[in-house]
């Protein structure tokens, strides 16, 4: 049976192709833990089915989705600080996922699961409406050239999809060091009628305190300002 084409988002990827390798130890950890802690957003027959997060985590808890988790520095520290939340980290690159998986194993962090693939696929097919307490998107690829702006993840269609997947009171938290992209994200978030802008000082159901990553330190050293952008899904 042929699956219908998605109508929620164009099939334009928001990530760059790159080669990466993992160490022998990371591969051993991957072989041991990925079947339990990992999933793929797409398989040979198309997109993955809807996730049963209660079964996957072995408990019922609010779910936070992080799109583009990189090597997992923020993912790991924020999950450790909020053990009452189930965290699903999405990343395209296997090396980053392998690094996070090894850190999970080394530090014994039980509340993280991993998905390899495109964040839009995950939002469209693996989660339903009102299913997420939070969505985090930290330092997505800015695609700075104008002809590539269509590849930016946080565009109106994806922000609308995130708003649909957030439960009332749920939070979208984005961060970027690219001023042009920050402006676009702000415009998209403010234009989405189901979202309202909030600040870190507002009472929110998830933490918005991020650890400072090596990438962010380099950006700050180069004089780049970091934009923190927050919205809450309206109750009605």
Mean pLDDT in runs of 10 for the chain (236 residues)? 39 52 91 97 94 98 97 96 98 96 98 97 98 97 86 96 98 96 97 98 96 81 88 94
Q: What is the pLDDT of residue 69?
A: 96
Which residue ranges make up each domain of the chain? 53-233
Q: What is the pLDDT of residue 3?
A: 37
Q: What is the pLDDT of residue 143?
A: 73
Q: How deeply is 141 buried, as exposed, middle or buried, from its count of CB atoms within 10 A (0-12, 13-18, 19+)?
A: middle
Q: What is the pLDDT of residue 218?
A: 82
141 is catalytic: yes
Q: What is the spatial distance between Cα 51 and Cα 225, in angstroms, rounded to a whole number? A: 37
Q: What is the spatial distance between Cα 192 and Cα 155, in angstroms, rounded to a whole number? A: 11
Q: What is the pLDDT of residue 165?
A: 98
Q: What is the spatial distance between Cα 139 and Cα 216, in angstroms, rounded to a whole number? A: 9
Contacts 24+ apart (CB under 8 A), 52-58: 53/86, 53/88, 53/113, 56/113, 57/86, 57/111, 57/113
Q: What is the pLDDT of residue 11?
A: 45
**Annotated binding site, which residues?**
66, 91, 118, 141, 145, 177, 213-216
Fold category of 53-233 in CATH:
Rossmann fold (3.40.50)
Q: What is the pTM of this model?
A: 0.89
Helix (H, G, I), strand (E, B) or coil at 192: coil
The one catalytic residue among 45, 54, 141, 164: 141
Residue 162 · residue 140 · CB < 8 Å: no
Read off φ and ψ for residue 102, nearest 5 degrees.
-65, -40
Q: What is the spatial distance between Cα 193 and Cα 150, in angstroms, rounded to a whole number? A: 22
**Annotated binding site for S-adenosyl-L-methionine, which residues?**
66, 91, 118, 141
């Amino acid at each position: 049976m042929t699956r219908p084409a998605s109508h929620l988002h164009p099939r334009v990827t928001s990530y760059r192709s790159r080669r990466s390798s993992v160490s022998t130890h990371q591969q051993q950890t991957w072989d041991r833990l990925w079947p339990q802690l990992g999933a793929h957003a797409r398989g040979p027959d198309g997109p993955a089915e809807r996730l049963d997060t209660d079964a996957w985590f072995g408990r019922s808890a609010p779910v936070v989705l992080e799109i583009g988790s990189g090597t997992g520095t923020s993912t790991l520290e924020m999950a450790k600080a909020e053990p009452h939340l189930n965290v699903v980290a999405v990343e395209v690159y296997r090396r980053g996922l392998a690094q996070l998986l090894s850190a999970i194993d080394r530090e014994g962090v039980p509340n993280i699961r991993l998905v390899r693939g495109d964040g839009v696929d995950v939002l469209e097919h693996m989660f339903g409406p009102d299913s997420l307490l939070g969505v985090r998107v930290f330092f997505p690829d800015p695609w700075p050239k104008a002809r590539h702006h269509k590849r930016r993840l946080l565009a109106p269609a994806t922000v609308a999809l995130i708003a649909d997947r957030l439960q009332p009171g749920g939070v979208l938290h984005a961060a970027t060091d690219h001023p042009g992209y920050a402006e676009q994200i702000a415009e998209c978030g403010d234009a989405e009628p189901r979202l309202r802008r909030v600040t870190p000082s507002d009472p929110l159901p998830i933490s918005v305190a991020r650890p400072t990553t090596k990438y962010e330190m380099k950006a700050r050293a180069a004089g780049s300002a970091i934009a923190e952008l927050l919205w809450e899904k309206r109750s009605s």
